[in-house]
Structure 1
Amino acid sequence: MGHTVTITELFLIAMLIIFAAPYLVWRVFKTDYWAPLVVVQIVGGIILGPGVLGAAFPGYYAFVFRPEVVQALNGVAWWAVMMFVWIAGVELDLEEVWRRRGETGVTAGLALATPLLFGAAAAAVMLATGGGWAGPEGRTWQVVLGIGMACAVTALPILVLFMEKLEILRRPMGQRVLRYASLDDIAIWGVLAVILLDWERVGRQGAFLVAFAVAAFAMRKLMPRLVERDRWFVSLIWLALAGLAADWAGLHYMVGAFLAGAVMDARWFDQARMDQFRDTILMAVMPVFFLSTGLRTNWDVGGVAVFGAAALLLFASVSGKLVGVHIAGRILKWAKGEAAIIGWLLQTKALIMIIFANILLDKGVITNAAFTALLLMAVGSTMLTIPMVSPRLRKMAGLAAKSG
């Protein structure tokens, strides 16, 4: 008598593929310099999705990734990425940003505004060439601003991992870059809230902001009175509540997740435990998010135009970020070569840009074709970071000790 494969078994087969395939590629081909494991996982999700293996072997895709399995994977992915974004919010050091607000504001502002303008110009070119980029709910200004901001994003959590790899995270240079990226992170979610503003539900959104401010004040009073173990449990409850409230208000659960972390104080948590928690999430559950991202990637929409758009966006993103940081360096009189290192470090986009683009896709602002082009741009810019920064750091060994 034949055995009928259950949904549970299919789910575990999918999990086996998710974890085994990228790891084996990363380990066997020793890709760490050009493509750290997180990048291999993102690319692996794309390859395992319907656009590559799904198109080549439709039977495999239909058998393993049934709607029930995909829905279960999405549930894991939602919670995983909410925790990861929450950590990014917790890691923001707003006090240090305020102490160095002049230098930080100039650098972060130019590092964000210039690639945003370059990306917005690229989006305008894309829209002028024809349809296929704007989603059913996306107005022209939303698409242009959304794609422009996607080109300006820096992924703070992945940046932290890369700077750990480069051994500069705890050094003054690393802390400087974190300050710049932290300010940009706030701006990213602020712009996203503007893009997603639902005028029909503005009352809900206003109520959310007022209620969140009150709840955040209460949380900041409560947390210091708790022992650290209880702080972790309360924080996760707070994360779920903030994500639910933000989604109900018509913003997005990711906006709530980031805000939930941003109002937390990193001093409330042991740094070693927070690092371990972040690394565990990245290793144990984030690969599921990367796969679920790949499952949304449709190469059939847009055809070759997707690759052309991705190249245009990559140029806008990289050149915009480097130009902006070099202008900041001129204003602040940095040493020669300093702006190049900081500019390339801030190219790290993969995770947050994918989250950002996922939200735009979910809300119908962009299409699958635009999402795929942004995804390729994010992977490309992230893969460039380590190879471009590592030799520059070796040539300027003393730069990492400069505090700004």
Structure 2
Amino acid sequence: MSTTEIFLLAMLLIFVAPYLVWRLGKTDYFAPLVIVQIIMGIILGPGVLGATMPDYYKFLFNPDVVKTLNGIAQWGVMLFVMLAGIELDLKTVWQYRRESVTTAGLSLGVPLLFGCAAALLLMNYQGWMGAKAANWQFMLGTGMACAVTALPVLVLLLEKLDILRQPMGQRILRYASLDDVAIWGVLALIMLDWERVGRQAGFLVAFATLTFVFRRLMARLDESDRWYVAVIWLIACSFGADWAGLHFMVGAFLAGVVMDAEWFGQEKLDALFKNVLLVLMPVFFLSTGLRTKWDLGGYSVFFVAGLLLFASVGGKLAGAHLAGKVLNWKKGEASIIGWLLQSKGLIEIVFANILLDKQIITNETFTALLLMAAGSTMLTIPIVHPKLNRAQNRGLVGQASS
């Protein structure tokens, strides 16, 4: 077969397998399609398909096909991260700044500490810390991976629970938005390369200067032109950040965070987001799955995934309950908010990919983080749904935040 034919067979597998599992298995309650795609990406990787059907795996995912898939995956994740940046509503966060800062700080800080403690334990064993990682980078990177909240997946979960437009849902989005900013700030710190610090400073100065020009230009353009200029801006920012040593996804997020959703229309942005998830992100999940490894043994990877899951869930719940005591939340609020904020999904995978690219974590740690992200998100709906029903019976969810 030609490379094109093998590529199309790979694409067929990428789109057919998750869809059939999701639709025929009726997994939507505990595993939305996006989570099934993440899990199938792992299954189609070297740890499962490569181990059980090595000849077929080598035939289907040969180097030429993998290069093509990686190119599509990089473009898809750039668009996804840009849209995540656009979705941040920092104006509303500022309006409720005391509540938002307190909750976001505790719900990020506590799981960060739990994750750092887990990383400290892993540092005593070989095979988990990346070849180019300093101890503090591995600890902070792993800790932040446990603290991540997947904002785009959170929106999908809130829609599924029918509270996205209710006061409770809007509050949770504010907390997650502030955490998102902190996550990318910490990532930039982890990526800081003292040999390239001049480049990085130059990029940030150039970005700040060009942002002023870009925003003024966008305000004057017609909507049809804004979409095209936004794509050019995305590519330029991603290139600049990667050239500076920060990573192209950091640039993609920065490109989005300085854009206003009003420039494009919320309905059109939502449609683009759904189309990116449908058309491009499954390829990213597969290319992510191809990077998983089980060389240290499956049991070890599952043990570490469980440890990280405990740090993530336990830390988020502890942080939310602390915030509830400080802010005098009603009974049951802290548990609902904590469980929703601990969902991981896509941003966790993006974050882990960057840590792996920079050799801060190994493929085995990367695999454990993917398993943790899938498990974290799959727990959310089954646990939150009955809690929400009880809260709605008390009239809790429909009430505005104090």
Partner AA of 1:288 in structure 2: V
Give the CA deviation at 1:119: 0.5
Superposition CA RMSD, Å = 0.9
CA–CA distance in structure 2, aligned partners of residues 53 and 401 of structure 1 = 47
Report deviation, 1:289. 0.4
Runs of 4+ in 1 over 6 A off after TM superposition: none
Q: 1:301, 1:368 within 8 Å by CA — same for their partners in 2?
A: no
Q: Which residue of 1 aligns with 2:27?
A: 31
Q: Residues 206-264 of structure 1, C-alpha deviation per residue, up to 9 Å, x if partnerless? A: 00000000111111111121111111111111101100000000000010011111111
- 1:311 is matched with 306
Displacement after TM superposition at 1:302 (Å): 4.5
Superposition pairs for residues 2-401 of structure 1, below 5 Å? 5-128=1-124, 130-397=125-392, 398-401=395-398
Structure 2: how far apart are the matches of 1:399 and 1:108? Answer: 21
Question: How far apart, CA to CA, are the structure 1 residues paired with 2:166 and 2:212?
Answer: 32
Q: Give the letter aligned to residue 120 of structure 1.
A: C
Amino acid at match of 1:271: Q
Determine the structure 2 residue equivalent to 1:402: 399
- Quote the Cα distance in structure 1 between the aligned partners of 2:383 and 2:225: 42
* Superimposed CA distance per residue, residues 138-158 of structure 1 (whole angstroms, 9 cap, x where no aligned partner): 111100100000000001111
TM-score calculated relative to the size of structure 2: 0.98
Unaligned runs of 5+ in 1: none
Q: CA deviation at 1:403?
A: 2.9
Equivalent AA in structure 2 for residue 263 of structure 1: V
Q: 2 CA distance for matches of 1:403 and 1:292? A: 42
* Aligned equivalents of 1:55, 1:377: Cα separation in 2: 21
Aligned identity (percent) is 65
Instruction: Measure how far apart 1:303 and its partner are.
Output: 3.8
SS in 1 for 2:132: coil
- Partner deviation per Cα, 1:283-302 (whole Å, 9 max, x = no partner): 11100000011100112235
Q: Is the 8 A contact 1:154 1:352 kept in 2?
A: yes
